[in-house]
Structure 1
Amino acid sequence: MFKQLKNIDSAFQHIKKFSIAFLIGNVLVVCFGIYKFCEVIYRERQTIHILYNGKVLEAFASDKKSNLGVELRDHIKTFHQYFFNLNPDDKAIRATVTKALYLADQSAKKEYDNLRESGYYNNLISANISQEIEVDSIKLDLNQLPYVFTCYATQKLVRSSSTVMRKLVTQGTVRELKEQTDNNPHGFLIQRWETLVNTDIAAKAEGR
């Protein structure tokens, strides 16, 4: 009888251990399933489907900070292109410079006003000069806020008789805005912008 009771107690202990192990196993499986489900949901949220030329393409969204340097350089480059790529037409100049002013603070507006008051834009129009800019490089410091940059570029002033090349160096800082807009898609604002160097490099007569 005692042996039978002992066997029953031993069997109960085995069943108890098996039940606990089974329960723990189920909990682990459920937790793993929840983890994988959340991982799939996150991956799906990072996936963007784009319709291009009648085809559905898959793209992946990325964190803004992972591309911070790229976005800052593009913002700075875009600003300089809007500000310095000019055609000899007052309406066109106003349109492109206005786009640039959305990307910077009052320091850019001040520079624009100074150029207008000095007759710079009128000279471009009267002499039928087109102005183009090529951004060569942008030095950027991401270790401090606001971000400090120096932009190195080459200006080209095209006249009917000659082309003048100019060296342009500007500097300023960039801070992040809370929102992105159609006029400022990167959500940055250039501050304390100033021109350090703007000197002629060479002049080339047309047709030579």
Structure 2
Amino acid sequence: MKRFTAILILICISSNSFALFGMEKKYQHDADIYRLNHMKYYGELIEEYHKKTGKYPLQGESKTQHYVLIAAPHQQKYAKGTPEQFDVTDVEKFRSVLEKGLERKVDFKFDPQKVPNGAPNFYIYMIEGDSFFFAVHLNRERSFTNPLGKNYHKLEITNETPNRRGLWKHKDLLKNEDFQKAASEEPYKRGWMDQLEEKYK
């Protein structure tokens, strides 16, 4: 009887673990779709800002690399690690810079991941001289990303000539068929993800 009970417990634990794995897999599937669309959104903001002002956000305001770690309030404690010798602008000041240049209100979109899962759960904007880079991190490897580790696949856009996997001109990324297909996949829980996005904009 004890042996039978122990087997039942193991079956229940295995079933629950499998269910949780399935839920996490679906969640990350949805999160990656939103991350890709957020990349499109921020790329369009940056290009619109450049077209309207003649420069990229924060261009000319630092003699070194200048970072913005785009994290929602509940993600701020994870948005660390920038070397001290580089300049960092907080996310709300960055919003005000964009709004001033674009002369309109700007909504922000944040990574759906509350706690890091292999990769940073925030987006990164960096400018050095006249060159900018904007990065998101996906859970799943794609043909257009750079695999850096488990659940850690980097995708960047830049105004420079791309010279490595996962680095793109924004316009070229939007034309990439694999990107288009991945960004247009149907989420399992669109309503829930939309609510999350609305909550933290």
Same fold (TM over 0.5): no
Q: What's the TM-score once normalised by structure 2's chain length?
A: 0.27
Higher strand share: 1
Q: Which structure has more RCO (C-alpha within 8 Å, separation ≥ 6)?
A: 2
